[in-house]
Structure 1
Amino acid sequence: MAVPSPCINVCTLDHATGLCLGCARTLQEIGDWIDLDDAGKQAVWNRIAERRSRAEDQASASAGGPRDGLGAHRPMDPAR
């Protein structure tokens, strides 16, 4: 089965983090996506999960919500 794109059409770059607020990918990952094999795409999904986990940890340690918006829109992780 092909690995789905994490894009959810909320394409806004957070200049502070360098990540898309919709899919939590870097511009490099977005640009490379079309050329990646399934293992490479899954590696991107794994990095997205790590980023979101760190963002949630930071958010829970502070009084406010997620500072970088990575938890706002979550595409389905194909590994789950």
Structure 2
Amino acid sequence: MNENVWQRDEVDSPCIQICVVHPETRLCTGCNRSIDEISAWSKMTPEVRRLIMAELPKREAAPKGRRGGRAARLKR
């Protein structure tokens, strides 16, 4: 095996193949990235990708709790 194989030093995508954008937060429920971040990922520098990766655990793609359901509709 050749040990002198060139390798790219890139930050891997956080995509987990669950690509659903939440209508309120506009974040992917799989990776927590915005649509703009997803579309620009391949053009970003490794530094910018690292910044986004560090921020992802703090994001919530889908709001916690229920939105009201039947009880909220009946109150209208």
Count of aligned positions: 56
Q: Which structure carries more relative contact order (alpha carbon 8 Å, separation 6+)?
A: 1
5+ unaligned residues in a row in structure 2: which ranges? 1-8, 66-76
% identity of equivalent residues: 32
Counterpart of 2:47 in structure 1 is: 39
Runs of 4 or more above 4 Å deviation: none
Q: Find the aligned partners of 2:11 and 2:31 in 1 and give their Cα distance.
A: 14
Select the structure of larger CA radius of gyration. Answer: 2
Counterpart of 1:60 in structure 2 is: none
5 Å-filtered alignment, 1:55-70, equals 67=64
For each residue in 1:43-75, what CA deviation from the matched residue of structure 2 results, as whole angstroms up to 9, or x when unmatched? 1112212215xx8xxxxxxxxxx728xxxxxxx
Larger helix fraction of residues: 1
Q: Find the aligned partners of 1:39 and 1:49 in 2 and give their Cα distance.
A: 17
TM score, norm. by length of structure 2: 0.64
Larger strand fraction of residues: 1
TM score, norm. by length of structure 1: 0.61
SS in 2 for 1:28: helix
5+ unaligned residues in a row in structure 1: which ranges? 56-65, 69-80
